Structure 1
Amino acid sequence: MAMTPHPDDLRLDALEPDDLDGHTIDELADYLDDGMQPADPTIDDSPACQNALAAIIRLRQSSMGSLDAAAAEEPPADESWIGGVLANISLEARAGRDVPLIPEAPTERPVMTEGAIRSLIRSAGDVVPGVVIARCSLDGDVTTLGAPVRVLVELAVRSGAPIHAAAEQVREAVATVLAEQTDLVVDAVDVHVRDLLPALPADADHEEDRA
């Protein structure tokens, strides 16, 4: 099933160079395909690029079996869906706003970038079996310590996986990681299932369970 473009999505080709420290999502994918050799410090030392690379790896691990299973049915739709997820990864990896943390001393002003928090959200959701995170965002004044924030997560679930249980697992995983690693006051974690992915072949399914 193809992913429906979000009305707030921006043109990827216009945003990538600034969002990913001068690189595009295609360049990062090629770098990954080449085994990240020769080393490129402009990628290796970039938090945004590292967040995007980690998300690409998780996406490939989670989705390639489904794409193979669906290849004879809807290859254009699935390729479009993966492209949409990659576009969102590129947008989410940008640093964004500085999110304050509780200081340990009056002179400290610790912050965490919005991009780093989005990466936490995506990584927490991606480990739930049968789930691929398509999009995540923070709604609220994240620049003010103690202000309530809503977390929005859109995902795809593999056919045959229990949809409501998967969504609840994602919600709990995201809430837990944000409580443990940020000082955000999370008012709610809204999880929306937007797509169904084809079921994995039996052997690939066992591999995912062991991952």
Structure 2
Amino acid sequence: MTENGTPDTGRLGFEPSDLDGHTIDELTDYLEAGRLPIDPSIEGSAGCQLALDALERLHGLGGELIDADAAAMPEVDDSWVDRILSGIALDARAGRRIPFGEPDDSVDLGITEGAVRGLIRSAENAVAGILVGHAALDGDVMVPGAPVRIRIDVNVFYGTSIPDAVEGLRAEVADRLHRHTDLVVAGIDVRVRDVQRVSRRTEETP
């Protein structure tokens, strides 16, 4: 975090190659400008779209985040917001190519690992009180039919039922992966990294 409490995006691991030549600072400015004028190079970039979606959710909490008795919490190298942004950086990378299990050998269709991570991350929008920090796919995703295990790190807002939020996220992720991919999901592991307070105004926002 910077001295004024904003995420230090300059050291979070975003590389222009991950975002089709753009930087996280550019995307932040673009988002704050209402995504106008439209930049086709940003709007047409899968990595940029993933980062923008996640940044938009964080910006919706901007100024509303409260330190939850930091003195009583164990020391960490980065703030929880920085960890989320670092996860966004990792998830924005294209990664491995995941083929669809097409019966016709003449058809070669696939989806990038980054796009699948984007599907996983987007599930947070359907589950109240939870933010995805990072998602990972364990297994040989390049082999159709191979079992894959999903690992998700999350942050939960204070007052949210952790078991309900975790089960809700797990169900939402399973549904999205079933509808949009041919992955054989062996399991979905959700790890709660932090429980964070937000202001009452944020908690009451529908």
Indicate the TM-score class for this superposition, using the shorter chain for normalisation: 0.7 to 0.9
Q: Residue 65 and residue 179 in structure 1: after superposition, are their counterparts in 2 closer, same or farther (change >3 A)? A: farther
- Mapping of 1:118-197 within 5 angstroms? 118-197=117-196
Contact 2:67 2:197 in 1 (8 A): no
Contact 1:66 1:198 in 2 (8 A): no
- The worse-fitting range, judged by mean Cα deviation, of 189-198 and 93-102 is 93-102
Unmatched 5+ stretches in structure 2: 1-10, 71-75
- What residue is the counterpart of 2:19 in the other structure? 20
| Secondary structure in 2 matching 1:129 | coil
- What residue is the counterpart of 2:202 in the other structure? 204
**Greater helix share, structure number:** 1
In the alignment, structure 1 residue 102 sits paired with structure 2 residue 101: yes
Q: Residue 116 and residue 72 in structure 1: after superposition, are their counterparts in 2 closer, same or farther (change >3 A)? A: closer
CA offsets 1:52-73 (integer angstroms, 9 cap, x no match): 1112112333x43751xx1696
* Aligned residues between the structures: 190
Contact 1:65 1:204 in 2 (8 A): no
Contact 1:100 1:111 in 2 (8 A): yes
- What residue is the counterpart of 2:8 in the other structure? none
- What residue is the counterpart of 1:113 in the other structure? 112
Contact 1:157 1:193 in 2 (8 A): yes
In the alignment, structure 1 residue 55 sits paired with structure 2 residue 54: yes
How far apart, in 2, do the equivalents of 1:175 and 1:93 lie? 20
- What residue is the counterpart of 1:39 in the other structure? 38
CA offsets 1:129-184 (integer angstroms, 9 cap, x no match): 11111111111111111001000001111111111111111111111111111100
Contact 2:68 2:196 in 1 (8 A): no
User: Shift of residue 110 of structure 1?
Assistant: 0.6
Paired amino acid for 1:54: D
Give the CA RMSD over aligned residues. Answer: 2.1
Q: Residue 51 and residue 199 in structure 1: after superposition, are their counterparts in 2 closer, same or farther (change >3 A)? A: closer
- The worse-fitting range, judged by mean Cα deviation, of 189-198 and 82-91 is 82-91
What TM-score, normalized to structure 2?
Answer: 0.84
Unmatched 5+ stretches in structure 1: 1-10
User: Shift of residue 102 of structure 1?
Assistant: 2.2
- The worse-fitting range, judged by mean Cα deviation, of 182-191 and 30-39 is 30-39
CA offsets 1:96-138 (integer angstroms, 9 cap, x no match): 1110112263311110110110000000134311111111111
How far apart, in 2, do the equivalents of 1:51 and 1:205 lie? 25
